[in-house]
Amino acid sequence: MRVVLTGGGTGGHIYPAVAVARQLESEDNTAEFLYIGGKKGLESKLVPQENIPFQSIEISGFKRKLSFDNVKTILRFLEAVKESRKMLKEFKPDVVVGTGGYVCGPVVYAAAKLGIPSIIHEQNAIPGLTNKFLSRYVDTVAVSFEGAEKAFSSAKNTIYTGNPRATTVQHANPERGFASLGIPKGSKVVLIVGGSRGAKAINDAMIQMADQLKNLGEIHVVYVTGDGYYESTLQAIKERLGHIPSYLHVLPYVHNMPEVLAATSLIVNRAGASFLAEITSLGIPAILIPSPNVTNNHQEANARTLEKAGAARMLLEKDLTGIALFQNIEDIMKDEKIQRSMMEASKRLGKPDSASLLVAEMKRIAKNK
């Protein structure tokens, strides 16, 4: 099977596409891939590292206010469609899969116009503009959140698959997670992450509550600052406590996140869709602090889905303080009944077979054309 993957801008669009590729490889060792991404997007760095052939086009997104730049965007889109058609004709895919981001627009649109079976995957509870536009052209729209299908009323076919990233973490080894953190196996771990680049609001709250963490007892707190905040955070905590205690682990970045997640008892994080897919696949209780700086405030919608199900608590950034965050962590970690209830609710939301469901739909639409 020959597959073109496209998606970019953030890891939330890229990693699900990679998860689909890995799942198809496990089912078909003759599968061949081409990833079409943006010239300047994060995908131009991440995808080659995954040993997936990569080609690029020039594309940008629309401004939400009236702007002459939107005229340039339309012209770039038309040129990118032309480039995509050429790449698709040369590669001759059986199916094209788009996982979101501006770059999907011209690639998936070109595929639909060429009569190539196509599918888009929407990670968030509130769909992005690109996927809303493409939904009327593709054969199938796959969604991560149950009930999100109704946002695509113009689509030919919609299915609930969950997020393929959930499959990636399903078999992660917790022992390797503990070992990489230098924490004894079986310990209780609270993981606090502000996203790949970090988040100032979470960083500030973490510093404020640093002197309260000793009250959690025999619990290890792992704080992943993001590279840009690491030195300043480390210094601020040292000044506040006089030293970094053994139960507090401050790291700039975690390269083996699935394994660390598998060792985690409670996570504090933003509410990006791919991350939520990972934690529900593993059944990890969560405190979610959605970023207010995202399109359509979709992270809050994502977080409310888990909160409503009982799998997470949500703290809006405007309400975030060190005291508020610590109280929520303490409430959950000192009550095993709450932990168990949240864990069970999280697992009910999890779709560890997401990637296989999406691959099955890819095979179906390819066969029917």
Find out whether 196 is annotated in a ligand binding site. yes
DSSP 47: H
- Reference 131, options 310, 303, 298; nearest CA is 298
**Closest by CA position to 87, among listed 115, 54, 119, 60:** 54
12 is in an annotated binding site: yes
Sign of the C-alpha dihedral computed for residues 141, 144, 146 and 152 taken in this order = negative
Is 203 marked as a binding-site residue? no
Please give the structure tokens belonging to residue 222.
Answer: 């792992």
Best CA proximity match to 12, nearest among 104, 94, 135, 132: 104
- How many Cβ atoms sit within 10 Å of the Cβ of residue 66? 7
Residue 82's alpha-carbon distances to 57, 87, 100, 106, 350, in angstroms, are 10, 9, 19, 8, 39
For the purposes of burial, counting CB atoms within 10 Å of the CB of 324, is it exposed (0-12), middle (13-18) or buried (19 or more)?
Answer: middle
Q: Is 322 annotated as a binding residue?
A: no
Q: Is 10 annotated as a binding residue?
A: yes
Q: Annotated binding residues, as ranges?
A: 10-12, 124, 196, 299
Task: Detail the residues annotated as belonging to a binding site for UDP-N-acetyl-alpha-D-glucosamine.
Answer: 10-12, 124, 196, 299
